[in-house]
Amino acid sequence: MNRHTKQIIGLASFASICMAIGMGLGRTWVVGAQDHQPVSVSIRGFETQPTVEIAEKMIPTVVFVENTSYVRRQRGGSWFSDDDIFDYFFGGGQQPRQRQQPREEEIPTRTSGSGFFISHDGEILTNAHVVEARRGTENPRIVVKTQDGKRYNATVLGTDKALDVALLKIDIQNAPFVKLGDSNATKVGEGVVAIGNPLGLEHTVTQGIISAKGRTRNEVGSGDANLVAAFLQTDAAINQGNSGGPLINFRGEIVGINTAILAGGQNIGFAVPITPIKQILNEMRAGKPIRRGWLGISTIDLDHDYQDALGINQGALVERVEEGSPAAKAGIRRMDIIVGLEGNPINTDTDLVEGISSHREGDTVKLEIIRDGRRQAVTATLGDRRNIDPSNNLPARQPETGDNLRREPAGTINLEKEYGFTVSALDTQTRREYAIPDSITDGVVITNVVPRSSASDRRLAAGMLITGVGAKEIKNLDEFRAEVRKYSGRTLIVSVRIGQGRGRGFTDPESVPLPAMSANGQ
């Protein structure tokens, strides 16, 4: 082997060693870098987006629902043809014609929504408001249009306005139908798909998430005191015409019926959860009325101020007990806090509404209440929720007015300094000044409210009546002062009545808390 060859071999060997060392170092560096990578999420099993498969399989289960109500109205001749003076001057000087008698006619009014099959033989779920008669008419004509364009006359088997749900039936066999899921198991942030017919655009698919659970009728914007559902909120786009359509999870299960949107919002929609609907399906199939339980109270959710005032962090505060109601017969009182129903905890007023509504008229239920700081059991036999009169059984409201007072160390109270308002006795002068009728004999009158005070923040105003402090009703100024002194700086709940204008009386008392003001104003 000559010298040149040895040099080549040596150089090659050296290069090989360097490459080996370099690869070893490189591998060590790569492994080290991989050990310090940020956390990543890998979605496996979705070769295509899940909404594609959901849309392909679920669209055929969704139907278009058309409601034709025939509205009666009186119709006569034109405005001018019924005018004698017009006929005389513009009718060639002839004597006025005999007026045409108005006649009654029926005008068709059409609205539409969505629905979906829940059985192979043509059962369809939709919203009750989609199929209800319009403008006081009776027996609207309900037509269902399936994806293939066929139209069927539908029969309404049953409705439940408390859940805003209706069960329809059409004459069809082998219809593609859905699986009803468990809305209680849904999680905030879970992906969902809405399918429906918004603004007549049939079988529109939108995607979003569950934005929130347990939305109350007040949050949804409904003043209907009969509604019992705690709605699911979603950002899947919902518009007019989506009502009655399904809200579907990524397993292809129905978790809600799309029902409402928040006016002025952007993709803030609401769906009735499917689980309570499943519980009444057999009753609707049989055409039986849903006789939900009714207790006969209105309640307030315990926000921070109420919790501070009462020393209780969960439950439903009784604001009003209807005379002669099951609650009144059971001995439930204003300012009781209901914390349990049939052994289940009641955390909010929504829990109580749902719990009572899951029972039926005539059921006897055991309630756990807290009264004056002590727990006790109360038994009530429920009435029929359909007896609710929305005019005098108002839904639970967010507090708008109220007061809180604090005792001075020496026992004297400067209401204006500490809480931002002053009161006076109910006498001839205050009655005349604030138009308080003689029929109202108990309470004290708010005479001034300081701007930017706690009282102002709670919308107290001169002329309002304070008729109670905590659970105690007060008759006069002395009783008011005596009750206020008992609270020693804690948030105090005061019942306030609001004047509705001269000659129109005052509202029922509203119980509202107000936190004590600090030295710098709040």
Tokens of residue 188, six digits: 């905030």
Q: What is the mean pLDDT of residues 18-38?
A: 48
Report whether pLDDT(150) > 90.
yes
Alpha helices in 35-117 (DSSP H): 50-58, 84-90
Dihedral, CA atoms, 183, 52, 241, 172, nearest 10 degrees?
-80
| Residue position matching structure tokens 């397993």 | 251
> pLDDT tier at 390 (50, 70, 90 boundaries)?
very low
* Strand order across the beta sheet in which 103-117 lies: 151-153, 141-145, 62-75, 103-117, 123-126, 165-169, 155-160
Does 274 score more than 90 pLDDT? yes
Query: Looking at the domain covering 415-514, what would its CATH class be?
Result: mainly beta
Q: What is the pLDDT of residue 69?
A: 86
Is 149 within 8 Å of 60 (Cβ atoms)?
no
- Does 405 score more than 70 pLDDT? no
Of the spans 8-12, 138-142, 153-157, which averages the highest pLDDT? 153-157
- Whether the model clears a pTM of 0.85, i.e. scores above it, the answer is no
CATH fold of 179-285: Thrombin, subunit H (2.40.10)
Query: Which H or E element spans position 424?
Result: strand 421-425
Q: Check: CB of residue 440 under 8 Å from CB of residue 426.
A: yes
Average pLDDT over residues 89-93: 48
Whether residue 111 has pLDDT greater than 50: yes
Contact 464, 456 (CB under 8 A): no
Q: Does position 372 have pLDDT exceeding 80, yes or no?
A: yes
- Say whether pLDDT at 518 is over 90: no
Q: Which of 20-29, 117-126, 354-363 has the lowest mean pLDDT?
A: 20-29
Q: Does residue 83 have a pLDDT over 50? A: no
> What is the Cα Rg of the chain in Å?
34
User: pLDDT at position 408, please?
Assistant: 33
- 250 or 82, which is more confident: 250
Q: What CATH class has 60-96+106-169?
A: mainly beta
**How far is the CA of 330 from the CAs of 129, 326, 349, 369, in angstroms?**
35, 6, 19, 12
Buried residues in 250-277 as b, exposed as e (16+ CB within 10 A) = eebbbbbbbbbbbeeeeebbbbbbbbbb
Q: Which two tokens stand for residue 141?
A: 């004509």
**Catalytic residue selected from 129, 298, 305, 403:** 129
Backbone angles phi, psi at 259, to 5 degrees: -130, -40
Q: Which 3-state string (H, E, C) describes 210-256?
A: EEEEEECHHHHCCCCCCCCCCEEEECCCCCCCCCCCEEEECCCEEEE
**129 labelled catalytic:** yes
Q: Is the pLDDT of residue 351 over 70?
A: yes
- The answer to whether residue 522 scores a pLDDT higher than 90 is no
Compute how many other C-beta atoms are within 10 angstroms of the C-beta atom of residue 328. 16
The per-residue pLDDT for range 452-472, each reduced to its tens digit, is 777 777 788 888 898 888 888
8 Å CB contact between 494 and 469: yes
Cα–Cα distance measured from residue 59 to residue 56, given in angstroms and rounded to the nearest whole number = 6
Is the separation of the CB atoms in 29 and 69 below 8 Å? Answer: no
pLDDT of 16 strictly over 50: yes
Q: Which of 114, 211, 222, 243 is catalytic?
A: 243
Compute the Cα dihedral for 321, 326, 327, 329 and give only its sign: positive
* Average pLDDT of span 197-219: 91
509 or 17, greater pLDDT: 509
Q: Check residue 206 and give its pLDDT.
A: 96
Report, as an integer, the average pLDDT of 156-185.
Answer: 94
Domains 293-387 and 415-514 share a fold: yes
Q: Which two tokens stand for residue 320?
A: 């009003």
* Cα distance from N-terminal residue to C-terminal residue, the chain: 100
Rounded CA-CA distance 143/153 in Å is: 5
Give yes or no for residue 146 having a pLDDT over 50. yes
117 has pLDDT over 70: yes
Q: For position 32, what pLDDT does the model report?
A: 40
Query: Residue 34: what pLDDT?
Result: 44
Structure confidence at residue 12 as a pLDDT band (50, 70, 90): low
464: Cβ contacts below 8 Å, ≥ 6 apart: 401, 445, 446, 496, 497, 498, 499
Contact present, 421 and 446 (Cβ < 8 Å): yes
pLDDT at 5 over 70: no
For residue 19, give the 3-state DSSP assignment: helix
Nearest-5° Cα angle at 299, 296 to 301: 155
pLDDT at 392 over 60: no
At residue 515, the pLDDT reads 65
Does residue 473 or residue 137 have the better pLDDT? 473
Give the pairing type, strands 510-514 and 492-497: antiparallel
**Where are the domains positioned within the chain?**
60-96+106-169, 179-285, 293-387, 415-514
Mean pLDDT of 78-107: 52
Of 232, 236, 317, nearest in space to 276 by CA: 232
Q: What is the mean pLDDT of residues 365-394?
A: 79
Contact 228, 78 (CB under 8 A): no
pLDDT band (50, 70, 90) for residue 320: confident
Give pLDDT, residue 487: 67
Most confident of 137-146, 147-156, 307-316: 147-156
Tell me whether residue 391 is one of the annotated catalytic residues. no
Choosing from 164, 235, 305, 336, the catalytic residue is: 164
DSSP string covering 287-306, please? T----BEE--EEEEE--HHH
Overall CATH class of domain 293-387: mainly beta
What's the average model confidence in pLDDT over 296-315? 84
Q: Give the residue from 156, 130, 150 showing the smallest Cα distance to 66.
A: 130
Per-residue pLDDT at 76: 54
Q: How many residues does the chain have?
A: 522
Beta carbons of 217 and 395 less than 8 angstroms apart: yes
Give the tokens for residue 471: 């659970």
C-beta of residue 324 within 8 angstroms of C-beta of residue 357: no
In whole angstroms, what is the distance from residue 503 CA to residue 356 CA?
38
Higher pLDDT, 97 or 356: 356
User: Is the sign of the CA dihedral 50, 56, 58, 63 positive or negative?
Assistant: positive
Calculate the average pLDDT of the chain: 79
Strand partners, 492: 514
Q: What is the pLDDT of residue 394?
A: 35
